[in-house]
């Protein structure tokens, strides 16, 4: 293998069009970009909805910045015939297209598999839906939260005597994004062997069912439904969240007798000789009492002191971190899962890093999350359009660059101000 090939990222030379919005599709494209693909985010003049949701920094939205690193951005109005022509030229240069546009808009915009295949016969086309492309729920709108309801996660999450609770982060979207990137790589492998692209479908519903192999699978095998246990385990004890002297908390869990013995030694206790707690079955039967005596002991220590003591005894433990703890965690920083990238408007922006470590073809975040229309001109130039052509396309509203988007934003502000004065 040549030095040049080892210096390139794993997906160098591949182009991905991200024609999706919000999280599952875009974040799958982001991971492909992290691994070296040239990812182009295609947006309308309205832009990805995530550009308008959440906390803002100098006009750029926090969630969008977090989810869209490693990309370039172009604005195309695909409702116009000229916009479809422009998109066709871009699609002809593309290996993978990711979209979550629903029908009938999908076909109206020229984005269904057969339409895109006409521009690039060996395209890998990935459609992301909430519930699947066909079947009784096909075509319904859906997001992460709804899927947690359908798949029973809301019913399993939370305290036993409390109400249903969704996951505190968009777990279904993130799991789906990983399946999107995995599907792209598998389909590209098929294309390498056969020369054929294909249509691929990924849904939030299927992703969450895949993630529930242990709970749903256990029910299918035994007929015993899983129970809501809060922070406890169904299978072993102790396992939960324990208070500390400084009003904070730690996690302690013991999936084997060995680890329970380590907890006892670390906390100078003889619980493992107590008949109520001497084996897993006894501990599960007396979980409330075990949690009570453990909480009495953990309250004797400040959190950081307790974590250090438990780790020294080889206990399975972790602090309950706040967000500021997380972004400054030494292992997270060491793993480069928080990294800085230069943004032309915001200066240094920290984003999450690449979650896969390649030793021969290392990857790192090099492209900042793009501003809307930021790369329109350079991308159109690579397709053969002259500066005069590009000016004409922008003037006609077929495309937009960064300056045009800023003019439109200012015009909207002026209209709103005028309406408020009227």
Burial zone of 299 (CB within 10 Å; 0-12 exposed, 13-18 middle, 19+ buried) = middle
How is domain 239-243+249-319 classified at the CATH fold level?
Answer: formyl-coa transferase, domain 3 (3.30.1540)
CA separation for the pair 17, 291 (Å, rounded): 52
Which residues lie across from 243 on neighbouring strands?
A: 249
The CATH class given to the 3-211+332-412 domain equals: alpha beta
- Terminal alpha carbon distance of the chain: 70
> If you average pLDDT over every residue of the chain, what do you get?
95
Tell me what pLDDT residue 5 has.
Answer: 52
Residue 6 has pLDDT above 60, yes or no: no
Q: Is the pTM of this model over 0.85?
A: yes
Q: pLDDT grade, residue 419 (50/70/90)?
A: confident
Cis-peptide into 71, omega within 30 deg: no
Q: pLDDT grade, residue 422 (50/70/90)?
A: confident
Residues 170-201: tens digit of each pLDDT = 999 999 999 999 999 999 999 999 999 999 99
Q: pLDDT grade, residue 4 (50/70/90)?
A: very low
Residue 86 has pLDDT above 50, yes or no: yes
H or E stretch covering 175: helix 171-194
Tell me what pLDDT residue 1 has.
Answer: 36
Residues 104-153: tens digit of each pLDDT = 999 999 999 999 999 999 999 999 999 999 999 999 999 999 999 999 99
Look up residue 50 and give its DSSP letter.
G
Residues 202-261: tens digit of each pLDDT = 999 999 999 999 889 889 999 999 888 889 998 899 999 999 999 999 999 999 999 999
Residue boundaries of the structural domains of the chain: 3-211+332-412, 239-243+249-319
Tell me what pLDDT residue 414 has.
Answer: 87
């Amino acid at each position: 293998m040549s030095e040049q090939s080892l210096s390139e990222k794993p997906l160098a030379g591949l182009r991905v069009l991200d024609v999706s919005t919000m999280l599952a599709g875009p974040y799958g494209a982001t991971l492909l970009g992290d691994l070296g693909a040239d990812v182009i985010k295609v947006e309308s003049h309205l832009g990805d909805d995530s550009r308008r949701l959440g906390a803002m920094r100098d006009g750029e939205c926090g969630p969008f910045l977090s989810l869209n690193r490693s990309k370039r951005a172009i604005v195309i109005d695909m409702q116009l015939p000229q916009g479809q022509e422009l998109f066709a030229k871009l699609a002809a240069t593309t290996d993978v297209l990711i979209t979550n546009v629903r029908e009938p808009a999908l076909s109206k915009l020229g984005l269904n598999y057969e339409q895109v295949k006409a521009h690039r016969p060996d395209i890998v086309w990935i459609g992301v839906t909430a519930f699947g492309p066909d079947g009784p729920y096909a075509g319904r709108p859906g997001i992460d939260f709804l899927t947690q309801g359908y798949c029973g996660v809301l019913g399993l999450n939370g305290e036993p005597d409390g109400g249903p609770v969704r996951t505190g982060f968009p777990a279904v979207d993130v799991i789906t994004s990983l399946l999107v990137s995995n599907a792209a790589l598998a389909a590209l492998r098929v294309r390498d062997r056969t020369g054929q692209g294909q249509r691929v479908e990924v849904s939030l519903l299927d992703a969450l069912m895949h993630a529930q192999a242990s709970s749903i699978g256990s029910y299918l095998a035994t007929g015993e439904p899983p129970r809501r246990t809060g922070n406890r385990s169904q299978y072993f004890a102790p396992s939960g969240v324990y208070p500390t002297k400084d009003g904070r908390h730690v996690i302690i869990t013991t999936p084997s007798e060995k680890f329970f013995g380590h907890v006892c030694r670390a906390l100078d206790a003889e619980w493992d000789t107590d008949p109520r707690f001497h084996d897993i079955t006894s501990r599960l039967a007396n979980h409330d009492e075990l949690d009570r005596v453990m909480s009495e002991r953990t309250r004797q220590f400040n959190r950081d002191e307790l974590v250090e003591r438990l780790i020294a005894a080889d206990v399975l433990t972790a602090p309950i971190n706040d967000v500021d703890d997380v972004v400054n965690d030494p292992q997270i920083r060491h793993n480069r899962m928080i990294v800085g990238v230069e943004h032309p408007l915001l200066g240094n922006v920290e984003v999450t890093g690449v979650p896969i470590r390649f030793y021969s073809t290392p990857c790192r975040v090099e492209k900042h999350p793009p501003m809307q229309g930021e790369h329109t001109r350079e991308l159109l130039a690579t397709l053969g359009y002259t500066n005069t052509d590009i000016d004409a396309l922008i003037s006609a509203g077929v495309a937009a660059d960064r300056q045009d988007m800023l003019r439109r934003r200012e015009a909207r502000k002026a209209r709103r101000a005028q309406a408020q004065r009227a």
